Amino acid sequence: MASVTVVIPAYNSASFLEETLQSALDQTDPPESIVVVDDESPDDSFAVAKKVAAKTPSVQVVRRKNGGACAARNTGLAMAETEFVLFLDADDRLLSRAIEHHLAVMERHSEAVMVFGSNHVISAEGARIGKSIVPDQDVTLEDLAMTVTPCPSQCLYRRSTVQQVGGMNETLRPGDEIDLNMRLLRLGKIISYPEFVMEYRSHPNQGTKNRLTNSSAHLRALELNIGPKGTSPDPALYKRARRKWLARYGHRQHMAALGAIRHGRFKEVIPAARLALAGYWARFRRAEWHPKH
């Protein structure tokens, strides 16, 4: 029988972590182990995880020196001994049949190195506020570059292949999952499917809210893989993807620059203005993304 380790990197996640852990424990096809890696949280995340682990033999808790989510995931990956691994963010929730759905798709696609399903979006309080449905398809390099950016919580990875490509790139955060998926695609198939597997929590304290950081990391991940000096150079695709994401990230950044001036955050003004100009230039150069209104 296929076995799964759920790795939960935790940093300042005390308010969500017990709920996240319970969602992993309540699976119809339970994971063999759950590893919580506390990234030197200043809040009570470590204590919350230890409380659950004290009454749940399958839960392990380790604490490491602060190094970011990628480093925490790599720590958990090194501890895993199962065939598959699922990286669950500490503020997200798995739906009860998530692992069951993932393993069924893996069984149908023995050449798959990664599979992922659809997700609901929830508020900080846990109410559903949106959804993202993905098609049933073999994901291509073009898909990864142009449209497909699943969060780790909605994916199941074949552990051996993640280790074979060296795990998460700890110099990229965010952007690490884009880089990992592109590297994995060189070893096998990535399959998406429409069944819902998790709930992605949207809240003000997320690191993914920072558009300036997101844009530079995303573009760097593309450069490392399909850029002129990347591991799988594709100049035409790289130019298309770069234009698209600059257009998207740069949208309304002129307003962010003005807001930074009004609030005295002067260090943010020039980067936001540059991103805004890059976005305008990308749209002028026929970027494959435009504002809806």
Is residue 229 located within the same domain as residue 94? no
Is residue 44 located within the same domain as residue 152? yes
Is residue 192 located within the same domain as residue 243? no
Whole-number pLDDT of residue 205? 64
In a domain, 292, yes or no: no
- Cα distances (Å, whole numbers) of residue 141 to 179, 186, 204: 11, 9, 32
CATH number of the structural domain spanning residue 174: 3.90.550.10
Q: Taking the CB of residue 236, how many other CB atoms lie within 10 A of it?
A: 8
Domain total in the chain: 2
Distance CA 23, CA 198 (A): 9
CA-CA-CA-CA torsion sign (219, 222, 224, 228) = negative
The residue segments making up the domain with residue 38 are 4-201
Is residue 146 located within the same domain as residue 191? yes
204, with CB counted inside 10 A (0-12, 13-18, 19+), is exposed
Question: For residue 137, what are the β-bridge partners?
Answer: 192
Beta strands in the chain (DSSP E): 4-10, 33-38, 59-63, 84-87, 93-94, 112-122, 128-132, 137-138, 155-158, 189-201
Q: Please enumerate in sequence order all residues whose Cβ is within 8 A of that of 147, keeping only pairs 6 or more positions apart, or say none.
A: none
Mean pLDDT score of the chain: 94
Whole-number pLDDT of residue 271? 92
Given a contact cutoff of 8 angstroms between Cβ atoms, the answer to whether 287 and 243 are in contact is: yes
Last residue within a domain, chosen from 180, 201, 222:
201
Mind listing the pLDDT tens digit for each residue in 225-274? 999 999 999 999 999 999 999 999 999 999 999 999 999 999 999 999 99
The stretches in the chain having pLDDT less than 50 are none
Whole-number pLDDT of residue 149? 85
Given a contact cutoff of 8 angstroms between Cβ atoms, the answer to whether 17 and 10 are in contact is: yes
